[in-house]
Amino acid sequence: MNILLIEDEARVADFVRRGLAAEGWSVDHAANGEDGLELAAQNNYDVVLLDLMLPGIQGQGVCRKLRARKSKTPIMMLTALDGSEEKVEGLKIGADDYLPKPFDFDELVARIEALHRRATGYTADVSDTIITNGAITFDRASLEVNVEKKPIELTKKERDLLQLLLTSNGRVLSRERILNTVWGLNADPLTNVVDVYVGRLRRKLGQEGQRIVTLRNVGYRMA
């Protein structure tokens, strides 16, 4: 998937760009509205992530100009302004979704995928909500986790970590990626919380916990 990110806050832009790249997506970044409009004119994108508060042409102006060009690319607005008036105005001028900052990275990914499905006419099957790996099943709708058809109790962070590992399709996830996704943008990069929670998750999964493979000095993946 090709994503255009128009965001002036360097820390947020870097966080989003690295995270989406880890999903295997291509991300072009513009730090202001003018550059974003130029990139949008030169390339075809599947989704545009548009910050509302930009230097020069602000997000609403960028959105209006894109729609004036008859662009049908889905637009998601990202903003620290969480008022209903801003949401309504953004949707009225052509935005397709609205995500307030700070946001959970997994929610961002899920919303991008939903926008892309909507734009391409894809309808997800109910079975897509069930993730299976060996004897582990994870129901994303009910958030129930079973091992060998027996339910196990997980905390929210343990469940988020397991879901991230299960949906990575065997890809290696760096500690930084896991930390940013599960604990958020403001997490301390020097903390060992990822290793601690992986250990807890392995114990709760029992024999199936061996499916979580450690790659020394790199990260983790689900076998």
**φ/ψ of residue 185, rounded to 5:** -60, -30
Residues 24 and 111 in one domain: yes
pLDDT of 202 above 90 = yes
| Same domain, yes or no: 76 and 145 | no
Top mean pLDDT of 128-142, 158-172, 193-207 is at 193-207
Greatest mean pLDDT among 16-20, 181-185, 202-206 lies in 202-206
Q: What is the mean pLDDT of residues 79-86?
A: 71
Are 152 and 100 within one domain? no
Q: Is the pLDDT of residue 120 over 80?
A: no
Total number of domains in the chain: 2
What CATH code is carried by the domain that includes residue 190? 1.10.10.10
What DSSP letter does each residue of 126-160 carry, written as one string? Answer: GGGGEEEETTEEEETTTTEEEETTEE----HHHHH
Q: Are residues 133 and 193 in the same domain?
A: yes
- Which pLDDT score is estimated for 124? 46
CATH number of the domain bearing residue 56: 3.40.50.2300
What single letter denotes the amino acid at residue 181?
Answer: T
Among 120, 147, 182, the domain boundary falls at 120
Residues 182 and 113 in one domain: no
Q: What is the pLDDT of residue 188?
A: 67
Q: What are phi and psi of 12, to 5 degrees?
A: -65, -45
Phi, psi of 57 (to 5 degrees): -70, 120
Could you give the CA distance from residue 21 to residue 3 in angstroms, rounded to a whole number? Answer: 10
Provide the domain limits for residue 19: 2-120
Same domain? 91 vs 139: no
Whole-number percent of the chain with pLDDT over 90: 50
How far is residue 151's CA from residue 75's CA, in Å, rounded to a whole number?
39
Average pLDDT over all residues of the chain: 87
Residue appearing with tokens 């360097």: 10
Residue 13 sits in the same domain as residue 27: yes
